[in-house]
Amino acid sequence: MTKWGMVIDLNKCTGCGACVNACRIENNIPNVGPEAAHNGRSMDWMQIVTEYDGEYPDIRITHIPLLCFQCDNAPCTKVCPVHATYQNSDGLVGQVYYRCIGCRFCMAACPYSAKKFNYAEPDVPEEYENHLNPDVTRRMKGVVEKCSFCHHRLAHAKDLARYEDRDLRESDFQPACVESCPADAMVFGDLENPDHTVHDLKDSSRVFRLEEELGTEPKVYYLKKEDK
Amino acid sequence: MKMQIWNLFRVRGAGLLFLVGFGALLLMRCGSPKEIVQPIAYNHKVHLTEAGLDCRDCHKGVENSIRATIPSIKVCASCHSKIKGKSTAEAQVVEAVKSGTEIPWQRIYRVPDHVFFSHRRHVTAGKIACKTCHGDVEKLTKPASHQLVPIAMKTCMKCHDNKSISNDCIHCHV
C-alpha cells in the first residue's frame, strides 16, 4: 500500500516562503488582495507560522510550514455530507470541487485550518490567463479547497510510468513546495516504501506531529528544531 | 356559479402553463446539443481508404502522449500541394497549404478542465480501440457535428468497473 507523506526539518527551514509561492503558482491560487487577506480570506494552501522563543537578543525563531496534513484519520472527511472530501487508497485526502456544496463543515472539523473557502470568483487579470497551470482546475466561488499534495502531478507521473512500463520512482512525484525548497528542508515520498527517504526519516528521534493527541494521524511529520 | 368556472379555468391554465414550461425544460435537456460546423468539409473515409492512412498518421499524439492532437496543415501539405480532385473542400485545403495558414478546426471531444484523461494510457496501455469512445469515424464522409459517443462520467466509470480499474474520484478529477 502506498501512503504519501512528508517530513519537514525545522532545523533547515529558513522561512523564506519559496514553498508558499511555488504552491500558489502551481495550483493557480488566486491573489485576494490585502484587504481580503487581512479579513482572513487568503486562499493560500500553504502558510508559514513563526514561533518566537525568548526576548531579543536572546531569541530563538522557529518557522513552521503548514499545509494539509492528509490525515489518516481525517476529521474533515467524516463530516462531509456529499462525499466531496474523502480518504483515498493512497492516503490522500481528496477534495472534489465540483461535488462540494460549500457547507464548510469540513473547515470547522479541520483542527489545522488547512481548508479555504472561495468567497469570491477567483479574479485573474487577463494578462495572466496564459500563465495559469492547465493541469490544475480553477476553483469557483462557493467551494472549499485545500492542498492536494499536488496530486495532479501524481496522475501525470503514473501515466508516464505506465507508458514506460515501469514502477513509479520516488523522484517521479514530488509536490511543488518540496521541489522549490532551497534548504532541502522538505522531503516527500511513500511512508511505507523502505526505498523512500521519508520511510526512515519519520522514525527519527526528533520527529513530532502537530496536535498528535487528537488522533488525526497526520502524514506530515516535523523534525524538532535543536540547538547545534 | 360563474365565479367557480372561472376559478377552474384559472387552475387549469396554471396547470397548462406548468406542463408547457416543464416540457420546454425537458426539450432543452434532451434536445440535440449545438451543432459543430467545421471550416472545411473534411472527409475521414477517403483518407482511411483511398489515401491508405491510419489514425496515428494524423492524430500523432494518440499513442505516446496525453492528447491525440488535430493535425497541422503541414501534415496535409505532403499530399495536397496541388488540386487533384474536383471538390471545393480540397481546393480550400490546397489554398491553406499554399498560404501556410492553419485551418481553424473546432474541437468536438473535450473533457472539462477538472478532469484528467490520457490517450496513451487508454490506447497504448489499455489497448482500447478508438471506436469504443469515438464511434465509426472510418465511415464519416463529412465532419461529425457532435460527439458520436458522448463523453460522460458514467461511461468512463462503467468501463473502469468492468475492467477493475480504480474509480477513485481524484484519479480523474484534478
pLDDT at B112: 94
CATH number of the domain residue A151 falls in: 3.30.70.20
pLDDT at A128: 86
pLDDT at A173: 97
CB nearest A162 (choices: B112, B121, B169): B121
User: pTM value?
Assistant: 0.91
Q: A-B interface: how many C-beta pairs under 8 angstroms?
A: 51
Sign of the Cα torsion A51, A53, A57, A58 reads negative
Whether a cis peptide bond, with omega within 30° of 0, leads into A81 is no
Kindly report the nearest CA distance between residue B174 and chain A, in angstroms. Answer: 5
Q: Which helix (H) or strand (E) holds A95?
A: strand A93-95
Express the helix, strand and coil content of chain B in percent, nearest 5 each.
50, 0, 50
- pLDDT for B24 beyond 70: no
The residue length of chain A stands at 228
Question: CB count, 10 Å around CB of B100?
Answer: 9
Whether residue A203 is contained in a domain is answered as yes
Domain extents for chain B? 37-70+105-171
SS (H, E, C) A185-206: CEEEEECCCCCCHHHHHCCCCC
The Cα–Cα gap between A36 and A48 comes to 18
User: Taking CB atoms and an 8 Å limit, are B121 and A88 in contact across chains?
Assistant: no
Q: Identify the domain containing residue A98 by its residue range.
A: 4-223
Whether residue A17 is contained in a domain is answered as yes
**Which residues on chain A are in Cβ contact (under 8 Å) with B166?**
89
ipTM: 0.90
**A-contacting residues of B 15-54, CB under 8 Å?**
none
Number of domains chain A contains: 1
Half-sphere exposure of B33 (CA within 13 A, CB side): 12
Q: Which of B103, B23, B115 is nearest to B58 (CA)?
A: B103
B164 close to A (CB below 8 A): no
Q: Which of B62, A201, A82 is nearest to A219 (CA)?
A: A201
**Which residues on chain A are in Cβ contact (under 8 Å) with B113?**
134, 137-138
pLDDT at B106: 94
- Which regions in chain A score pLDDT beneath 70? 228
Nearest CA in chain B to A27: B174
pLDDT at B167: 96
Burial class of residue A87 (count of CB atoms within 10 Å of its CB; 0-12, 13-18, 19+): middle
Mean pLDDT, rounded, for B48-63: 95
Strands A4-9 and A220-223: parallel
Using DSSP, how many helices (H) and how many strands (E) does chain A show? 7, 10
Cell of B52: 491508405
**Which residues on chain B are in Cβ contact (under 8 Å) with A137?**
112-114, 173-174
CB nearest A163 (choices: B113, B116, B124): B124
Whether residue A228 is contained in a domain is answered as no
User: Taking CB atoms and an 8 Å limit, are B125 and A155 in contact across chains?
Assistant: no
Phi and psi torsions of A77, nearest 5°? -70, -25
CB nearest B66 (choices: A88, A95, A159): A159
Exposure string over B41-65, b if 16+ CB within 10 A, otherwise e: ebbbeebbeeeeeebeebbbebeeb
Nearest CA in chain B to A86: B169
Whether residue A46 is contained in a domain is answered as yes
